Amino acid sequence: RKEVEQDPGPFNVPEGATVAFNCTYSNSASQSFFWYRQDCRKEPKLLMSVYSSGNEDGRFTAQLNRASQYISLLIRDSKLSDSATYLCAVRTGGTSYGKLTFGQGTILTVHP
């Protein structure tokens, strides 16, 4: 079983739609959780960290369910510019030398 798993998609949605991605992780000792956005042929960029209480940043909402070991990302009112690959990432390790493990990414295409 992979440490971090995502549905690769692709998700094709019209502008204005709401879309949700899920990601599961296998290590129950994982401590930090993130969503990254990666554009084609570019490096990943941090979209948001995911906190236990859930957190929102504009049109983006991230949630963490430790009991079921999954994190989610909700994008509301999708824009064309949201088209990208969304990677979830999980950090394990109790010190500053923790390791960040990525899921394979979910491809999102927003069309007019």
Partner 1 sequence: GAVVSQHPSRVICKSGTSVKIECRSLDFQATTMFWYRQFPKQSLMLMATSNEGSKATYEQGVEKDKFLINHASLTLSTLTVTSAHPEDSSFYICSARDGAGSYNEQFFGPGTRLTVL
- Residue 104 Cβ, how far from partner 1 at the closest point, in Å? 4
Q: Residues, the chain, total?
A: 112
Closer of 6 and 63 to partner 1 (Cβ): 6
Nearest to residue 4, comparing CAs of 75, 103, 100, 73? Answer: 103
Burial of 88 (0-12, 13-18, 19+ CB in 10 A): buried
Q: Is 70 in the site for partner 1 (CB under 8 A)?
A: no
Q: Exactly one of 39, 42, 59, 65 binds partner 1 (CB under 8 A); which one?
A: 42
Q: Is 48 in the site for partner 1 (CB under 8 A)?
A: no
Q: Exactly one of 82, 102, 108, 110 binds partner 1 (CB under 8 A); which one?
A: 102
C-alpha 89/C-alpha 111 separation (Å) is: 26
Q: Is 91 in the site for partner 1 (CB under 8 A)?
A: yes
- Cβ atoms of 45 and 102 closer than 8 Å: no
3-state class of 80 per DSSP? Answer: helix
Q: Is 60 in the site for partner 1 (CB under 8 A)?
A: no
Note the residues at the interface with partner 1 (CB under 8 A): 4, 8, 32, 41-45, 49, 87, 91, 95-105
